[in-house]
A and B are shown apart, each in its own frame.
Chain A
Amino acid sequence: MNALLFLIPMALLLGLAGLAAFLWALRSGQFDDLDGAAHRILFDDEDGNDGPPAKP
């Protein structure tokens, strides 16, 4: 029974973290260009000089 008091908040927190991560990804425009993102991975960044992620 005591385990529940510990496990339930943990499960909820993990879930919330996932939700927050998704909402952040959505807000930072990662779902704006699904076609481009799918192909972008095929090109290496040699200089690592990519711009910051797009703002919505």
Chain B
Amino acid sequence: MAAPDPDTDGACRHCGDPFDPDTAAAAGHPGFCCAGCQAAFGLVNGLGLDRYYDQRCLDPAVRALKPDADDAIPDYAVHVTPTDQGEVSLSLLVEGLHCAACVWLIERLLTMQPGVTHARVNMTTRRLSLRWTPQPGEGEAPDLGARRVLDPVLTVGYRLVPYDPATVDRDTDRTERSLLRAMAVTGFATGNIMLFSVSVWFGADMDAATRDLMHWLSALIAIPAIGYGIRPFARSAVTALRAGRANMDVPITLAVLLAAGMSLWETARGGPHAYFDAAVMLLFFLLIGRFLDSRARGRARSAAGRLLALGGAPVTLIEPDGRIRSVRPAEVPVGGTVLVAVGERVGVDGAVSEGLSDLDVSLITGETMPARAGPGDRVFAGTLNLSAPLHVRVDAVGERTLLAEIVRMMEVAEQGRARMVALADRVARLYAPVVHALALSAFLGWWLVGGLAWQEALLIAAAVLIITCPCALALAVPVVQVIASGRLLKAGTFLKAATALERLTEADTVVFDKTGTLTLGRPTLESDAAEWTDDDLRRAAGGAASSRHPLARALAGACPAAPAVSGVREHPGEGLSWDDPEGPTRLGSAAFCGVAKPGVGGTLGTTSSGRRPALETPPNRPRSMGLSSSHSLADRARDRSSGSGMIRHCEPASIDAGEAIQGEKRDIRPGLLRRFAPGNDDQNKSCANPIDSTDEESERRTPAELPPQEMGRVGAGFLGPELWLRVGDRAPVRFRFADPLRPDAAEVVDALKARGLAVELLSGDRPETVARVAADAGIETWRGGCAPGDKLARLAALRDQGRRVLMVGDGLNDAPALAAAHVSASPASAIDISQTAADLVFQGDRLAPVLQALETAHRADRLVRQNLALALLYNAVTVPLALAGLVTPLIAAVAMSTSSLVVTTNAMRLTRTRKSRP
């Protein structure tokens, strides 16, 4: 047994989370935060795999390895595929993978199961591929033993999501592989041809017959290698020529083919000069550049893949006769009813027909506070069911869901930015025609004016093409990019777009979102001017420990020593209740705890509707335009119909507005809006013109209109989310929550200003809260109450002033702005859609990665420019030589490899301090 590490006392021996040892001992699981962790630890130890605990390193950015009894385990049966030889296979995405020790543990746990023939976790893509032979008796079970095999891994606390390998895009994988293969073939050819070439160059006493033999051997290797290696370039060149353009691949293809052809002819007539080596080497270097380029670009795929996987989890369908069947989301009939268990993501769009629960809607709206959903309320694919099972009547599935539609919108918005042409491509556009003109003039000049035979002249023209070919250009930029992104990756920043670095260097204005970006986006218990006693906190935290609600978790986190209370009942959308020795206890919204003052809505529950929304919207609503989670979806619909709707309902429309700003005229999709707005359609007529209503909303939020008692944060009108605790007949006490700034926010803002960048804060939150955060962070220019459309408008205004904006944000309401900004960054805690829209994604609680990315971008940019200058210098020297017909194959080979080496070495300077992983 692994002894508990003395250093980790107070941290759970399994998941590493802090806990209180005394409480745990009393509850019967000493050394562990919960019984689940104890069971997991026992399992790992029992199998003799306890070395795992010595060797692992926990990654704070990854979900803690906590087995959660409430987690709904997806039904694997749908994705189990029989293979030949009586085996079955299953592909899964692993959530909770911290480090290589996790890979080891999972594989070991699985291979210990009888019948498992293959279990392999890919650490890069976090995918697990599994094959096993069903044991006797399992052949009849629908999942063929999947649960039995996977059970130990689930017990340990990993979450396994099945996916359909066919839906995950394999095209890019295939391209990368074929590039690598072509690279290997041309590399082999280069090496071996060089063997012959060097002997020809330096074998001064070599007779003509031997030289011809060498040339023929070179041709024998070169021709097939060129035929194989040139395909990626030729394909792109032909496509470009068909479209009437010339890209870099045109001169490349032409040069290689011309050089090979001329050399073959030269060899056939026994001439002294053959360029096989140069032609193949050129291809080799260019393929290296191409491969690096494709790797740098390919990183963004995993995020998109995860999003797709969300839609791929099986759905539990309730048949008309009451039977329950697990099906793929695409097979669910519209109008059918599906069951959504606690902890499960809703796989379809629809309306609740039965049940009352809290939904985590963060994927769709960016809200961290759950929304209540009861009969008649609309639910959307991608939301997570938190507290009670729901029956949902299906309106839309698969590609027709709101989630799929939002993803498509982001793609459209992204394409607008893809028009940005990388520096290397801009250079290439100039380069190609110049090179062609030079080669043509060399040919014509030598043939017509110089009086050479046309074959000789053509040979010189081929030499010009080869020597001008942009090895340095094609290699230098991708090398710099790969090194730069490797450097950033090591520091926890994930570079998604290939041109992001270049665009970062151009940024002169930084626009931050507030909640979740400048702040942590996690509610934390306010302890100054507290209205509660430690005893209250202890009691409340004990009850809250059993809930998944973010505020309850914050409360439990504030007092981990609290003994967990048993017998807690969760009232969806209202709060928790349990029997305390001192009387029946309630924890939840003001109304739930019988607080007479409706006040600022308690966020575990609903507030009474009909109050002025300005009073109902607590300011610390993460990114969500100040919407209280205390609203049930139905409440929001009512608000909407009374003309005081919540801006965020119109976010997709604002994405449309964003596209319009980008110059792509698109119809606003009323159908989508109706679907997005909760409640039934006639309640939502007023959402038909979302932009108007967002304007109305922001006007409504002017500070002047706010009641004076709400201007400050202290006093009766405190504007944060809150929970009430009522014990027996005692007066209820209030717990307030605030969202703290990221620890280095002010420093980073200062550093950005020192770099000469303008810094702004745009937030959907109430102006006074934004003002306070802006003051804390040292930002002078700020704007509160911004709808997504307002953010876009501000970005457009900045662009009209000629500013290049770096947008940093994390919510769905930021997503259009992220896509529209010149360059954008998003914290890893952001919702997937924002991460998809952003150019860089950074991890951790600090903002410093933004600064670091800027700095790396500037260094990379300097290196790219130096490299381009070096390439130009090289051309200035060699082109006259080639034009003069002085370039022999030896000179061509030396010049080409030298220039490539020089630019690569220069790029490597980016790693200066220590070697980075490319």
A interface residue numbers (CB < 8 A to B) = 1, 4, 8, 11-12, 15-16, 18-19, 22-23, 26, 31-36, 39-40, 42-43, 49-52, 54
B184 contacts the other chain (CB 8 A): yes
Interface extent on B, as a size class?
20 to 34
CB under 8 Å from chain A, chain B span 198-216:
210
Beyond A1-B210, A31-B177, 4 additional pairs, beta carbon < 8 A = A11-B192, A11-B195, A16-B188, A19-B188
B850 contacts the other chain (CB 8 A): no
| Docked pose: A16 CA to B99 CA in angstroms | 37
| Docked pose: A31 CA to B119 CA in angstroms | 17
Min CB distance B888 to A, Å, is 23
User: Given A35-B124, A39-B100, A40-B104, A50 and B192 touching (CB < 8 A)?
Assistant: no
A-B contacts, 25 of them at CB < 8 A, read A1-B210, A4-B210, A11-B195, A12-B221, A16-B188, A19-B184, A19-B188, A23-B184, A32-B122, A33-B123, A33-B124, A33-B125, A35-B124, A36-B100, A36-B103, A36-B121, A36-B123, A39-B99, A39-B123, A43-B100, A43-B101, A50-B107, A51-B111, A51-B118, A52-B118
**Are the C-beta atoms of B217 and A8 separated by less than 8 Å?**
yes
Closest to A8 in B: B217
B236 contacts the other chain (CB 8 A): no
Partner of B124, one of A15, A34, A43, A50: A34
B852 contacts the other chain (CB 8 A): no
Residues of chain A within 8 A of B221, CB atoms compared? 12
Taking chain A's interface residues, is the majority helix, strand, or loop, or is none over half, making it mixed?
helix
User: Given A39-B99, A51-B118, A52-B118, A26 and B104 touching (CB < 8 A)?
Assistant: no
User: Given A11-B195, A36-B100, A43-B104, A50 and B111 touching (CB < 8 A)?
Assistant: yes
Closest to A14 in B: B192
CB under 8 Å from chain A, chain B span 163-208:
177, 180-181, 184-185, 188, 191-192, 195
User: Given A8-B217, A43-B104, A33 and B119 touching (CB < 8 A)?
Assistant: no
Min CB distance A18 to B, Å, is 7
Closest to A53 in B: B120
Residues of chain A within 8 A of B100, CB atoms compared? 36, 39-40, 42-43
CB under 8 Å from chain A, chain B span 777-814:
none
B117 contacts the other chain (CB 8 A): yes
Min CB distance A41 to B, Å, is 9
**Are the C-beta atoms of A26 and B181 separated by less than 8 Å?**
yes
CB under 8 Å from chain A, chain B span 425-459:
none
Min CB distance B129 to A, Å, is 6
B interface residue numbers (CB < 8 A to A) = 55, 99-101, 103-104, 107, 111, 116-125, 129, 177, 180-181, 184-185, 188, 191-192, 195, 210, 217, 221
User: Given A22-B184, A39-B103, A12 and B192 touching (CB < 8 A)?
Assistant: yes
**Are the C-beta atoms of B123 and A49 separated by less than 8 Å?**
no
| Docked pose: A50 CA to B118 CA in angstroms | 8
Taking chain B's interface residues, is the majority helix, strand, or loop, or is none over half, making it mixed?
helix
**Are the C-beta atoms of A51 and B188 separated by less than 8 Å?**
no
Residues of chain A within 8 A of B184, CB atoms compared? 19, 22-23, 26
**Are the C-beta atoms of A18 and B188 separated by less than 8 Å?**
yes
User: Given A39-B99, A40-B100, A54-B129, A33 and B122 touching (CB < 8 A)?
Assistant: yes
| Docked pose: A33 CA to B217 CA in angstroms | 37
Min CB distance B217 to A, Å, is 7
Min CB distance B434 to A, Å, is 36
Residues of chain B within 8 A of A43, CB atoms compared? 55, 100-101, 104
Residues of chain B within 8 A of A32, CB atoms compared? 122, 124
Min CB distance A3 to B, Å, is 12
Residues of chain B within 8 A of A15, CB atoms compared? 188, 191-192
| Docked pose: A54 CA to B122 CA in angstroms | 10
Residues of chain B within 8 A of A8, CB atoms compared? 217
| Docked pose: A1 CA to B107 CA in angstroms | 57
**Are the C-beta atoms of A19 and B103 separated by less than 8 Å?**
no
Among A8, A36, A39, A42: residue with most chain B CB under 10 A: A36
Closest to A41 in B: B100
Min CB distance A37 to B, Å, is 8
Residues of chain B within 8 A of A42, CB atoms compared? 55, 100
**Are the C-beta atoms of A23 and B181 separated by less than 8 Å?**
yes
Min CB distance A44 to B, Å, is 9
Residues of chain B within 8 A of A11, CB atoms compared? 192, 195
| Docked pose: A26 CA to B176 CA in angstroms | 11
| Docked pose: A12 CA to B191 CA in angstroms | 10
| Docked pose: A1 CA to B207 CA in angstroms | 11
Residues of chain B within 8 A of A40, CB atoms compared? 100, 103-104
**Cβ-closest 6 pairs across A and B:** A39-B100, A36-B123, A51-B118, A19-B188, A33-B122, A43-B104
| Docked pose: A40 CA to B107 CA in angstroms | 11
Residues of chain A within 8 A of B181, CB atoms compared? 23, 26
Min CB distance B492 to A, Å, is 15
Closest to A33 in B: B122
Closest to B209 in A: A1
| Docked pose: A33 CA to B126 CA in angstroms | 10
Closest to A5 in B: B213
Residues of chain B within 8 A of A51, CB atoms compared? 107, 111, 116-120
| Docked pose: A31 CA to B100 CA in angstroms | 17
Among A26, A43, A52: residue with most chain B CB under 10 A: A43
Min CB distance B718 to A, Å, is 47
Residues of chain A within 8 A of B195, CB atoms compared? 11
User: Given A40-B100, A51-B117, A26 and B124 touching (CB < 8 A)?
Assistant: no
